[in-house]
Structure 1
Amino acid sequence: MPTRCPCGGRIIDEVRVKEEYDTRPGKRFFSCINYEADGLHYRQPWVIGVRGGDGAPCVKRVEEADGMIKCVSILSKQIESLEAQVKRLTLLLDKLTVASITSQSRLLTEKSSQTVEVGSSEAPKPAAERRKWTTQEDIVLISAWLNTSKDPIVSNQQKLGSFWRRIDDYFNASAQLGGFPPREWSQCKQRWGRVNEQVCKFVGSYEAALKEQSSEQNENDVMKSAHDIFFNDYQAKFTLEHAWRELKYDQKWRSNSISRDGAKEKMKEAAETVPDSDEARPPGVKACKAAKRKKHGNEAAFDRLESILEKKQNLSKQKILDRLLSKNIASLSEAEVALKDKLVSEML
């Protein structure tokens, strides 16, 4: 189908609205935009133009559209079936959810009923209340921490859990806590953190009280002053004096100041001249392990002598066994047979 008329006009899609002898209202044409009924302009019915050779692409598009329309109907049916399946699956999921919740509630009810004996009128016991730490427990905990941390070989060069489990074992095995229920290692760790923090703060307060001590004041006055300083600094009373008395002689919590006493000035001067043996630095972990593995020259020589004697003893046993094996079994006595069996078992 041409795109231009011989007159040069553009081909348009025309719909007739007037009745003529050869047309009907609404009939479509491919005609020139300047069409006149003089036989000089192009005009062709729309049906002929589409079915002609030039209208093949239009026919193809119409067929494709028909195919798409058929596919749409098929897809709509498939969508309807999928929606029905989704509804069925949703109902099934709701039923399974209700069944799961019911089974869980039944299990919880059974577990709660098992805690109370059948036929007993006693109600289940409430959860154990938090126990306060006593003075005796604090003292044993301090002893456990000091003994475990000052081990020259193991020391604190280990994992957190292992270190505190050793302390917990020492704490629970103490004979001083025979009537006390056992504690967990996490409880010991938490309690030690509080004891260490409070005692370190009180050491500073006690140090300040010693520096302010006058010649008329004794140890009790210094302690009272230290408690007052602690309360003024931290707005709380110091309630772990028993723990401080256990730790105050250790190097970490020891006070550097010396209590003043006019009657004992000369004794203190003499004591200051004597070096404190506790101030000596303890050996390290590596040094202790090396000293444990190290052997003196006499011990090494003794070990070599023992190895030589053992080799000689084995050679003599081998010779005796060879001599017994070379003899006839019938000629051996009972003692020789027993000796031969014993040597064979030792050699094997």
Structure 2
Amino acid sequence: MALFDAWINTSYDPIVGNQQANKCFWDKVTDVYNEQKPKGTFRRNMKMLRSHFELTDKDIKLFCGIYKHEAENYQSGASGADILIAALRVFKSNTKKDFIHADVWQSVKELDRWASGVQSSTCSSSKRTKHTASGQNSYSEGGEGNTS
């Protein structure tokens, strides 16, 4: 959670914002994280934090997409808890692992980076198909198996 807090604080800084060079941005995230790191944890370097962020970010985006899909397709009157349980079940079915970042997801799910999520293969998605000899492509909705 502390890593995502550091990322959000650095990314949404009204003075600097997210228009920073990649290394400069991650240097700042590392500094913020190490200043606010949880008690009993050791200092981490930029490579460690970035690697952990990227792996966790991938799962959170995937879960956001699954949750959004479940919320849109769940029966009316379903509670948020019902949708969450269904989304957790789908995540585990798709990835063969439990979603362990619910605390981070609760904090970031409404932010632009995560709000749209990444569609899982169980959600409808666009398929690109070639329709003309000149090579022009068209897109159609629906189709399983695209993990865009």
TM over 0.5: yes
| 1:230 and 2:85 are equivalent in the alignment | no
Offset at residue 202 of structure 1 (A): 0.4
Within the candidate set 14, 17, 20, 1:152 is matched to 14
Structure with greater Cα Rg: 1
Residue of structure 1 in register with 2:133 after alignment = none
Offset at residue 216 of structure 1 (A): 4.2
Q: Secondary structure at the match of 2:56?
A: helix
CA contact (8 A) 1:195 1:243 kept: no
Residue of structure 1 in register with 2:124 after alignment = none
Residue of structure 2 in register with 1:221 after alignment = 82
Residue of structure 2 in register with 1:178 after alignment = 39
Within the candidate set 148, 151, 164, 2:26 is matched to 164
Offset at residue 250 of structure 1 (A): 1.2
- The structure where helix makes up a greater share of residues is 1
Structure 1 distance, partners of 2:68, 2:39, is 37
The structure-2 alpha-carbon separation of the partners of 1:218 and 1:148, relative to structure 1 and needing over 3 Å to count, comes to: same
The structure-2 alpha-carbon separation of the partners of 1:154 and 1:213, relative to structure 1 and needing over 3 Å to count, comes to: same
Offset at residue 233 of structure 1 (A): 2.6
Residue of structure 1 in register with 2:106 after alignment = 245
| 1:201 and 2:62 are equivalent in the alignment | yes
Q: How does 1:1-348 map to 2 (within 5 A)?
A: 139-174=1-36, 177-254=38-115
What amino acid maps onto 1:229 in structure 2? V
Structure 2 distance, partners of 1:189, 1:198, is 14
Offset at residue 249 of structure 1 (A): 2.3
Q: Which runs of 5+ in 1 are unaligned?
A: 1-138, 257-348
Q: Secondary structure at the match of 2:17?
A: coil
Q: Which runs of 5+ in 2 are unaligned?
A: 118-148
Structure 2 distance, partners of 1:215, 1:163, is 43
The structure-2 alpha-carbon separation of the partners of 1:177 and 1:236, relative to structure 1 and needing over 3 Å to count, comes to: closer
The two structures have a TM-score, normalised by structure 1, of: 0.31
The structure-2 alpha-carbon separation of the partners of 1:255 and 1:159, relative to structure 1 and needing over 3 Å to count, comes to: closer
Structure 1 distance, partners of 2:55, 2:66, is 17
RMSD in angstroms over aligned alpha carbons?
2.0
Structure 2 distance, partners of 1:235, 1:170, is 33
Structure 1 distance, partners of 2:41, 2:95, is 32
Whose relative contact order is higher, 1 or 2, with alpha carbons under 8 Å and at least 6 apart? 2
**Kindly, what percent of the aligned residue pairs are identical?**
26
Structure 2 distance, partners of 1:151, 1:216, is 39
Q: Secondary structure at the match of 1:253?
A: helix
Aligned length: 117
The structure-2 alpha-carbon separation of the partners of 1:155 and 1:214, relative to structure 1 and needing over 3 Å to count, comes to: same
Segments of 4+ in structure 1 off by > 6 A? none
